[in-house]
Chain A
């Protein structure tokens, strides 16, 4: 298409003045630097080439619908392909978008939305969850725990939607019962303690509402002896007694929906939702962890078991796997962990020799094989490494 100064193109178009709904058929002349047309009434209209804008994303690909920058109402529709082509060639800013209006108001609303969502998730919901957790009757707590237990088992089963197996070798369970009997929390719980072992390679454990504690096969394999498992169990019992999992489950019920709302359920949202869910739940608060530790300390001491086992076990796993794995992630929020270990060790020093382990040798052997499989601690190499897809469950306190 030639754009020589004396070269003009003419044809027709439909003009809408934005005041009345009539179609004004007009003669359109395209100059290199402007377009001119004459409505039925009034003077000829001239739009400069650099003021010309075209409506975007139009279905009709042959013609073009023009407007003048700054004019929100008037439209000139040119159906002819040649003239539309000439206009596209001559107008330098045809595709420029009008400036965004009300930037300040949008920013204000965006801030307001983020602030109110943050307020709800991080302040209101946790406060309410704290208040309500201790008021939930035992039956309700148990139902809540059962519901979350099934969800977690399904989520852990890497994608095939068959809930993860529980380990039920009879001798192993008998040994577990013996350990639970030794650690009896008695009147601290309004419901019986229900401990199960999940067939999963990660060294981890968590507590759920309603007296449910779950140990992973990996934890038992990693432990050097029954007292270390007993110490972890006592810590999780501490969480149950303090209602931490109930608090967490209620908090989750309040926050997940809100986040889902923010991100919508379009594909991208799903991923963010999962990540955000992880963030929310990463840990109990430090106060909750100290609370569980204190309880475990007292429970273990009453049972005649060394409370220091908790710390030494944790330290060893951390040395082997680093901070981000399984139970270490759970305990990494513990206040003054090292100091506590030293204190516990010092307290135990004189007594360890007289203590009776939580399980005898044959009970421990049976317990190690509660999931079937090979005997011993940490020798089950086929399952040694947690698959990457399961790593997001590394924290023990999902509920």
Chain B
């Protein structure tokens, strides 16, 4: 019997995603942010179920109340840090340096280990709440090792001006992958620390061109070298898409679980297309929205004062609007743009990217997967509370 590779379908569609993101985003705004745990849960359920390896959807089983509890846990710890420690830092910063910059720096440096901590714990929670074919994923406890490795690797990355970044990415990914399980089957990350340098080649090349151009411009003082800088910058930006695609390909294709492997064919050009097309679509729609909003304010204003409507619209008339009305219109406009920006980003950027990576990934030699058995539930009180409470720039 020959096992065909398991292709991945992607079931996400723009219109339902738009409705879900708009509805949950609106509720989040209206509840002063309280609904955000429900929003996140529902969006994840959608995104997870859209990915269907072998035609079977992933399932996200996390709950909003779980995330809320985790967040509150984190708040208890972080409130202390942020309140007391920042106050002390502020005091010493103004006492010793007569300025607040040192306080900000120390405060941020103090947060760094906490950020790595939050990253690992958030992944542990997400894996523990993800199922495929009814079987749970899982990530072993091991946050301490991850935090000190992250600190070392990030220091090395910063000290080498980013040259070691691919080695850092591979190494930290290996630490986590080797602790990842699908049911009773353990994942393994192959390759070595040199695996990802090839994926970075266009970024290095672009940076070298821009750097060389800048040096030449500085020493030769000829403006023609500005062209080299611009070329290098564009090359670097496109090279970043190449990095994203090939990092994913290399890391995923070197993973194995229960005898199965992966084949990935993401295209950097497609990613660039999604970013460019998506940004254009988002800004176009937002401008249209602002235009409509402006007309709506005008109409409202006309209703308020009929004389002015007869006299025709004039921008200086806006100054005669009662102050509270201007304020309400301003707040409303701000939240509308904020909300739609978030919603449109999901529809035009996040989902198309997820679709592309899903549709270009397939499972090979998947015959061993059917024998995988269920693993125990990971009761994880803290959920991803720290990642929620810290500004981690939230991926999915």
B323 touches A255 (CB 8 A): no
Q: Which residues of B contact A124 (CB under 8 A)?
A: 83-84
A23 touches B324 (CB 8 A): no
B134 touches A16 (CB 8 A): yes
How far is A188 from B266 in the complex, measured between Cα atoms in Å? 71
B95 adjacent to chain A (CB < 8 Å): yes
A89 adjacent to chain B (CB < 8 Å): no
User: Chain A interface: which of B139-147, B198-206, B218-226, B368-376?
Assistant: B368-376
B349 adjacent to chain A (CB < 8 Å): no
Which of B42, B54, B63, B78 has a CB less than 8 Å from the CB of A261? Answer: B78
How far is A143 from B102 in the complex, measured between Cα atoms in Å? 13
A57 touches B72 (CB 8 A): no
User: Chain B interface: which of A132-140, A277-285, A322-330, A368-376?
Assistant: A132-140
A20 adjacent to chain B (CB < 8 Å): yes
B391 touches A147 (CB 8 A): no
A268 touches B28 (CB 8 A): yes
How far is A162 from B23 in the complex, measured between Cα atoms in Å? 37
Which residues of B78-105 are within 8 A (CB) of A?
A: 78-80, 82-84, 86-88, 90-91, 94-96, 98-100
B135 touches A21 (CB 8 A): yes
How far is A21 from B372 in the complex, measured between Cα atoms in Å? 5
A59 adjacent to chain B (CB < 8 Å): yes
How far is A151 from B335 in the complex, measured between Cα atoms in Å? 24
Min C-beta distance of A221 to chain B, whole Å: 20
Known contacts A124-B83, A147-B100: does B69 contact A109 (CB below 8 Å)? yes
A23 touches B56 (CB 8 A): yes
- Which single residue of chain B is at the shortest CB-CB distance from A142? B98
A346 adjacent to chain B (CB < 8 Å): no
Known contacts A21-B134, A112-B76, A258-B83: does B36 contact A264 (CB below 8 Å)? yes
Q: Which residues of B contact A258 (CB under 8 A)?
A: 79, 82-83
B161 adjacent to chain A (CB < 8 Å): no
B75 touches A117 (CB 8 A): yes
B371 touches A20 (CB 8 A): yes
A117 touches B99 (CB 8 A): no
- Which single residue of chain B is at the shortest CB-CB distance from A144? B94
Against B, the Cβ 8 Å flags (1 = close, 0 = not) of A378-399 are 0000000001110000000000
How far is A14 from B50 in the complex, measured between Cα atoms in Å? 17
Interface size class of A (residues with CB under 8 A): 35 or more
A106 touches B69 (CB 8 A): yes
B324 touches A388 (CB 8 A): yes
Which of B13, B28, B322 has a CB less than 8 Å from the CB of A266? Answer: B28
Which of B79, B88, B334 has a CB less than 8 Å from the CB of A116? Answer: B79
B294 adjacent to chain A (CB < 8 Å): no
A56 adjacent to chain B (CB < 8 Å): yes
How far is A130 from B322 in the complex, measured between Cα atoms in Å? 42
Known contacts A59-B50, A106-B68, A268-B33: does B133 contact A255 (CB below 8 Å)? no
Against A, the Cβ 8 Å flags (1 = close, 0 = not) of B23-59 are 0000011111110100000110111011010101101
How many A-B pairs with Cβ below 8 Å? 211
Q: Which residues of A contact B84 (CB under 8 A)?
A: 120, 124-125, 128, 254
How far is A59 from B58 in the complex, measured between Cα atoms in Å? 11
B36 touches A266 (CB 8 A): yes
How far is A15 from B46 in the complex, measured between Cα atoms in Å? 21
A254 touches B57 (CB 8 A): no
How far is A266 from B389 in the complex, measured between Cα atoms in Å? 11
Known contacts A58-B46, A124-B84: does B33 contact A105 (CB below 8 Å)? no
Min C-beta distance of A196 to chain B, whole Å: 20
Which of B11, B79, B323, B371 has a CB less than 8 Å from the CB of A120? Answer: B79
Q: Which residues of A contact B65 (CB under 8 A)?
A: 100-102, 106
B211 adjacent to chain A (CB < 8 Å): no
B32 touches A269 (CB 8 A): yes
Q: Which residues of B contact A262 (CB under 8 A)?
A: 75, 79
- Which single residue of chain B is at the shortest CB-CB distance from A255? B83
Q: Which residues of A contact B43 (CB under 8 A)?
A: 57
User: Chain B interface: which of A3-11, A69-77, A307-315, A356-364?
Assistant: A69-77
Query: Which label, helix, strand, loop or mixed, suits the secondary structure of the A interface?
Result: helix
Number of chain B residues close to chain A: CB under 8 A:
77
Q: Which residues of B contact A56 (CB under 8 A)?
A: 42, 45
B339 adjacent to chain A (CB < 8 Å): yes
Q: Which residues of A contact B96 (CB under 8 A)?
A: 140
Q: Which residues of B contact A105 (CB under 8 A)?
A: 69, 381
- Which single residue of chain B is at the shortest CB-CB distance from A143? B98
A20 touches B79 (CB 8 A): no
How far is A170 from B46 in the complex, measured between Cα atoms in Å? 67
B165 adjacent to chain A (CB < 8 Å): no
Which of B16, B56, B59 has a CB less than 8 Å from the CB of A14? Answer: B56
Q: Which residues of B contact A113 (CB under 8 A)?
A: 72-73, 75-76, 79
Which of A16, A65, A106, A388 has a CB less than 8 Å from the CB of B327? Answer: A388
Q: Which residues of A contact B63 (CB under 8 A)?
A: 100
Known contacts A57-B20, A258-B79: does B94 contact A143 (CB below 8 Å)? yes
B72 touches A112 (CB 8 A): yes
Q: Which residues of A contact B182 (CB under 8 A)?
A: 21
A136 touches B91 (CB 8 A): yes
A129 adjacent to chain B (CB < 8 Å): yes
B275 adjacent to chain A (CB < 8 Å): no
A21 touches B76 (CB 8 A): no
Against A, the Cβ 8 Å flags (1 = close, 0 = not) of B340-359 are 00000000000000000000
Q: Which residues of B contact A18 (CB under 8 A)?
A: 134-135, 374
Against B, the Cβ 8 Å flags (1 = close, 0 = not) of A245-280 are 000001101110110011111111101100000000
Q: Which residues of B contact A16 (CB under 8 A)?
A: 56, 133-135
B49 touches A257 (CB 8 A): no
- Which single residue of chain B is at the shortest CB-CB distance from A79? B55
B59 touches A55 (CB 8 A): yes
A20 touches B373 (CB 8 A): yes
Which of B16, B30, B56 has a CB less than 8 Å from the CB of A61? Answer: B16
How far is A389 from B50 in the complex, measured between Cα atoms in Å? 46
Min C-beta distance of A167 to chain B, whole Å: 23
Known contacts A59-B46, A141-B94: does B370 contact A21 (CB below 8 Å)? yes
A1 adjacent to chain B (CB < 8 Å): no
How far is A143 from B96 in the complex, measured between Cα atoms in Å? 11
B5 adjacent to chain A (CB < 8 Å): no
Q: Which residues of B contact A23 (CB under 8 A)?
A: 54, 56, 133, 370
B268 adjacent to chain A (CB < 8 Å): no
Given A18-B374, A258-B79, 11 extra CB contacts under 8 A: A21-B132, A59-B11, A105-B381, A113-B79, A159-B330, A254-B87, A257-B86, A263-B33, A264-B36, A266-B28, A389-B326
Lowest 10 A-B CB distances belong to which pairs?
A16-B134, A268-B32, A254-B87, A59-B50, A140-B94, A22-B370, A57-B45, A388-B323, A268-B33, A21-B372
A–B pairs, 13, beta carbons within 8 Å: A56-B42, A106-B65, A106-B72, A113-B76, A120-B80, A135-B95, A136-B91, A141-B94, A255-B83, A261-B79, A264-B33, A268-B29, A268-B33
